[in-house]
A = this chain, B = another copy of it.
Amino acid sequence: MQDGSALAVSVGQKTGGSREKGLNRVLEILEFLHTTQRAIGIGDLAKGVNAPRSTTYTVVRSLVEAGLLEMAGDGNRVYFGKKLYLYGMDYVRGNDLLRRGRQEVDHLSRETGETSELCMLQSGRYTIVHSSPGTRPFRISSATGLQIPLPWTASGRLLLAGLERADIEAMVSEDDLTLPDGRRLLLDDFITDIATARATGYCVTSGLVDAYTKCLAVPVFSAPGKIEATMCLVVPIDTSEERTGNLLGLLRDRAARLSIGG
């Protein structure tokens, strides 16, 4: 149990010191490679996931043989393999919303010049599933696959719309309510925000994760009332009211086109 949640929160977390299940080792390795975003030596990998070297060698060998990982060019580093790419494409193929959502996001960022993102809940956490960087000289961009606490984002407020208070509390930890700059959010305020977002059908946050950006988010429905994802635009915080309104309009159009029911 503890192990599961430790893994969920972060990979560099210490283990309980006892023996670890092989499957968990695999998950930790994958997650670690996802954070490093580059090939890494097996020894470093072992350190990174805090696993014994011998175990790491064994697990990595299995994964390389299976094609989930590949040895990188120089021969003693590993990174993701073709199999994961193929499975990932299978996921896209089987997921209309994602496939179309990617297109809409790409289109939106071309149309507006702003950074645009498609976001979803994943295992109860907020994830940027696809992002398209926009054309500003100084880009505001986020890594896809990044996990951010729900209360830090506009999208988070929409993704939780429709859940019971108890469910929301379960998904939000104490730490999640502390912003990067140290400010504290109140759970009640957050829940109020969620209700508002639900009622108005959009959510705008300013200077939440950092001091320079404003985030406009709208829901994407997979069925009437069921919010499956959000589309959002990340814009400079000093964007005028007028332009913000216009962008929100475009965003809503795109999201509506993507939604089923709503």
Contacts and interface: CB of A to CB of B under 8 A. Distances in A.
Interface of A: 4, 7-8, 11-12, 21-24, 26-27, 30, 33-34, 37-39, 59, 62, 65-68, 79-94, 98, 120, 122-123, 127, 129, 144-145
Contacts of A22: 21-23
Contacts of A90: 33-34, 37, 79-80, 84, 145
Kindly report how many copies of this chain are found in the complex they form together.
Answer: 2
19 contacts: A4-B65, A8-B65, A21-B22, A23-B62, A24-B62, A30-B83, A33-B90, A37-B93, A39-B94, A65-B123, A67-B122, A80-B94, A81-B122, A82-B120, A85-B98, A86-B88, A86-B129, A86-B144, A89-B144
Contacts of A65: 4, 8, 12, 123
A64 to B, nearest CB: 8
Given A38-B94, A122-B67, A89 B86 contact: no
B67 A145 contact: no
Contacts of A92: 85
A14 to B, nearest CB: 15
Contacts of A21: 22
Between A67, A85, A94, the greatest number of chain B beta carbons within 10 A of the residue's beta carbon is seen for A85
Given A66-B11, A89-B88, A83 B23 contact: no
Nearest to A130: B89
B87 A91 contact: no
B80 A84 contact: no
Contacts of A127: 82, 86
Contacts of A123: 65-67
Contact of A84 (B7, B23, B91, B144): B91
